[in-house]
Structure formats: C-alpha cells, structure tokens
C-alpha cells in the first residue's frame, strides 16, 4: 500500500472524523509531553508522527542547543518556522512542536491554515518535574526551571490559547491525555 493510500485511510478512519485531511499540531510548554503524547496519538489515529525538533536537528545537522549557542534564538526560530511549514505539506500527520514554535506569528498562521492545533497544558509543578529529568533545553541552561517556566507561561499561555483545542495533561500516564484528545476530536 502506498503512503498516499495509507494517508487516505487514516483521514477516513473512524477514530478521527473531525480532522479531515489536516495534520494535527501539538503546542505547549516544554515538558508538557508533546512528543510522547504525539507518538501515542499518531498510533491511535493511524497517522505518521513527526517531532519538529528532530527534523530541525536533521536539517541543520546539529543539536538545537548548538544552534542556539552558535546562531542565537532568532536564527533557530526562523529555521523552525521553515521546517514546520515543510512538514505541513503533503499527507496528514501528527506533529510535536518545540515550546516556542507557536509563539511565532508566521508559524501560527501556517498552522492555522493547514493544521488542527491542540494546546497541551499542564500545571507548573508537573512541568518542573518533567524538565528536571534531562538537561538538554537551551532556555533552562544554568537557570531555575520553575522561574523560567513561570515567566514563559505568563508570556506564552495567552498565545497557546489561540489553538483550536485545549487539553490538560496531568501526572497520570500519557495514554489518559490521548484519551482526552480523542474525546475532543470526536465531538
């Protein structure tokens, strides 16, 4: 079966009647679980999964932290915007974005035009616990994660709220969040 045929089957799958031929984009703060939840959601919807950060690293042939260090955040955000626009071309898929992707107006516009956006939201305590497990996030290097996440949340949450759907993630397994998303998609 060709990838085109698989995409058509996925779009017409009974589990996702409300997404049509659009991709699903997961947006939200770092640590909310966009990649982990995205993989599970893609399996559930019979769609491919793509992590935008992985695609950015592949395109640049360097880690995101290296891009930030070498070229700065503005350069990274421009590349991120281009990669997300490319990912939205073609067959529907589930895409996990970096925490700052949806903040960029041009990126948000492309997402609005070509995808269904879902804001995954979680309490600050959950985010702090999750981001503290690994030390690879450039915006947290050498800083207090709670303070950074609180400041980012204050600035970003009103923008994330522009997503088409809003789903809360909590400390329960990610499968529960996928169930909540599925309920929203089938309303």
Q: Which tens digits make up the pLDDT trace of 138-169?
A: 556 767 888 988 999 999 999 999 999 999 98
Q: Identify which has the larger pLDDT, 11 or 125.
A: 125
Q: Are 2 and 139 in contact (CB under 8 A)?
A: no
Residue 6 has pLDDT above 50, yes or no: no
On whether 43 is known to bind a ligand per the annotation, the reply is: no
Establish whether 108 is an annotated binding residue: no
* 79 assigned ligand-binding residue: no
- CA dist 76 to 35, 104, 121, Å? 19, 11, 24
Domains contained in the chain, number: 1
- CATH code of residue 134: 3.40.50.300
Q: Is position 141 annotated in a ligand binding site?
A: no
Instruction: Return phi, psi of residue 26, to 5°.
Output: -95, 125
Question: What pLDDT was estimated at residue 32?
Answer: 92
pLDDT score at 4: 38
99 is in an annotated binding site: yes
Residue 65, domain extent:
3-185
Residue 134's pLDDT band (cuts 50, 70, 90): low
On whether 114 is known to bind a ligand per the annotation, the reply is no
Query: Which residue would you say has higher pLDDT here, 82 or 9?
Result: 82
The annotation status of 27 as a binding-site residue, yes or no, is no
65 is in an annotated binding site: no
pLDDT(136) > 70: no
33 is in an annotated binding site: yes
Is 72 annotated as a binding-site member? no
Share of the chain above pLDDT 70, in %: 86
**What 3-state DSSP class applies to 62?**
coil
- CB of 27 closer than 8 Å to CB of 119: yes
Is 60 exceeded by the pLDDT of residue 14?
Answer: no
- Residue ranges of alpha helices (H) inside 19-144 are 34-45, 52-60, 64-71, 73-87, 105-114, 124-131
């Amino acid at each position: 079966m060709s990838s085109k045929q698989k995409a058509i089957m996925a779009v017409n799958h009974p589990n996702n009647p409300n997404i049509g031929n659009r991709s699903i984009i997961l947006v939200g703060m770092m640590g909310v679980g966009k990649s982990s939840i995205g993989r599970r959601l893609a399996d559930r919807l019979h769609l491919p999964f793509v992590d935008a950060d992985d695609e950015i690293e592949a395109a640049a042939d360097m880690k995101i932290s290296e891009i930030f260090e070498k070229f700065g955040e503005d350069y990274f955000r421009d590349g991120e915007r281009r990669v997300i626009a490319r990912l939205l071309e073609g067959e529907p898929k589930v895409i996990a974005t970096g925490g700052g992707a949806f903040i960029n107006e041009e990126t948000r516009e492309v997402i609005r035009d070509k995808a269904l956006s879902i804001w995954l939201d979680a309490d600050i305590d959950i985010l702090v616990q999750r981001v503290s497990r690994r030390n690879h996030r450039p915006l947290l290097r050498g800083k207090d994660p709670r303070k950074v996440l609180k400041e980012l949340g204050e600035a970003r949450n009103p923008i994330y709220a522009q997503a088409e759907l809003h789903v809360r993630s909590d400390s329960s397994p990610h499968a529960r969040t996928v169930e909540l998303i599925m309920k929203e998609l089938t309303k």
